[in-house]
Amino acid sequence: MKEITPQEVQRLLADKQPIHLIDVRETEEVESGKIPGITHIPLGLLEFKLQDLDKVTPYIMVCRSGGRSGRAVQILEDHGYQATNMVGGMMAWDGSVE
């Protein structure tokens, strides 16, 4: 499984790189703060939303600590998508939130 650190994600965002972040936390968790511009798809709904994603687009998956986003990466990879897990999740994120 490919992994990326929160610091690397922050650097990509600061450099205005075209990245696609997906937060797989539950709605209540996201309401407490999320990375600006991130797409929210709860892990339980991810397989139902696959048709909304593009197989040529690489996605970075985010959750609270990195566990659920790791499962999300597995789901996406099993269906032919490109995905990377942000290790440490939002607990390790010290960038801006909205």
Report all structural domains of the chain as residue ranges with CATH numbers, in order of start. 15-63+71-86 (3.40.250.10)
* Total number of residues shown for the chain: 98
Task: Compute the half-sphere exposure of residue 2: CA atoms within 13 Å on the CB side of its CA.
Answer: 11
Instruction: Verify whether residue 40 is a known catalytic residue.
Output: no
Average pLDDT over residues 61-69: 97
Residues 6+ positions from 84 with CB-CB distance below 8 Å: 2, 3, 4, 58, 59, 60, 61, 73
pTM of the predicted model over 0.85: yes
Identify the active-site residue in 22, 63, 72, 86: 63
Please give the pLDDT value at position 32. 92
Q: What's the confidence (pLDDT) of residue 6?
A: 98
Give me the mean pLDDT over the 69-90 stretch: 98
Q: What is the pLDDT of residues 5-64, one digit of tens each?
A: 999 999 999 999 999 999 999 999 999 999 999 999 999 999 999 999 999 999 999 999
With bands split at pLDDT 50, 70 and 90, how would you rate the model's confidence at 4?
very high
What per-residue confidence (pLDDT) applies to 57?
96
